[in-house]
Structure 1
């Protein structure tokens, strides 16, 4: 399993896609081993349950899919827009959805992301993007960052 570090070169698009697919398979293997009670359990005040963490990953997939589509619709530079993660999880009310549906939704969204990534025109990989803080970056860095974020939360779910 690859681990990305800010001190290393940005992974290639192919490497990021491979890592994303590995995370989908990894969580699928573990998710079904937990009971609904395990997945809904809160580890402490102000912390998300496993179901809510996966809900957060669903929200992240939605927001990142949007970024990848918009990158292909307009000229650079593209500026990332923040979103209120806690509010999205609260409004999504993931705690009260069946766990199998959550996993299916998350997996499907990420399969769609993989499909779009595999069809990205090469010239988009060099376009400038501006982070939420206005720092310049590239689409490969944003994709690798998305995968790293996803990997962090998959580990969090598994090693709760």
Structure 2
């Protein structure tokens, strides 16, 4: 079975959960096979190391968990707020964190997201949100987009 199969843009919630679970296992299998030098190597100017990419995924998990909760609580449409991803990675100083701690944190955050999604009422999937470009999207779309984004960066880490 190929490692990347996600059927975007219209996967059902169960497919999103299954793919998120699969990506957690996939990176878990690969992450600890990399030497520290491989994890901190900067592939070029303005590019992130593997640790920094995982740090970005940690930041993404925290922001998206908040979005998934807020979308269920706030009156529609939920207006998504951007965050300075470069600054978050820089301030997170992920290059200087132990590799095992980064993987454990990212995995734990995503298990909490899976826990939230498992209890998400189906009616909430249609909750309207305004994307960062002010386009109308649904909570369902946000969830699928999060999983696609995560899959992209897991692939980037593995194939760096």
TM-score bracket, normalised by the shorter chain, equals: over 0.9
Report the more deviating stretch, 131-140 or 105-114: 131-140
- Report the Cα distance in structure 1 between the residues aligned to 2:137 and 2:23, rounded to whole angstroms: 24
Count matched residues.
Answer: 157
Q: CA RMSD in A?
A: 0.9
1:132–1:120 CA distance, 2 compared to 1 (3 A): same
Once the two structures are superposed, residues 8-37 of structure 1 have per-residue CA deviations (whole angstroms, 9 ceiling, x without a partner) of xx1111100000000000000000100111
SS of residue in 1 equivalent to 2:137: strand
| Structure 1 runs, 4 residues or longer, greater than 3 Å off | none
- Report the Cα distance in structure 1 between the residues aligned to 2:114 and 2:8, rounded to whole angstroms: 22
SS of residue in 2 equivalent to 1:75: coil
Unaligned runs of 5+ in 2: none
- Report the Cα distance in structure 2 between the residues aligned to 1:147 and 1:75, rounded to whole angstroms: 24
Measure how far apart 1:5 and its partner are.
3.9
TM-score, normalised by the number of residues in structure 1: 0.95
1:155–1:4 CA distance, 2 compared to 1 (3 A): same
- Report the Cα distance in structure 2 between the residues aligned to 1:73 and 1:130, rounded to whole angstroms: 15
Once the two structures are superposed, residues 129-160 of structure 1 have per-residue CA deviations (whole angstroms, 9 ceiling, x without a partner) of 11011111111111010000000000000001
- Report the Cα distance in structure 1 between the residues aligned to 2:143 and 2:35, rounded to whole angstroms: 32
Contact kept, 8 Å, 2:42 with 2:48, in 1: the verdict is yes
Unaligned runs of 5+ in 1: none
The answer to whether 1:2 aligns with 2:9 is: no
- Report the Cα distance in structure 2 between the residues aligned to 1:128 and 1:5, rounded to whole angstroms: 19
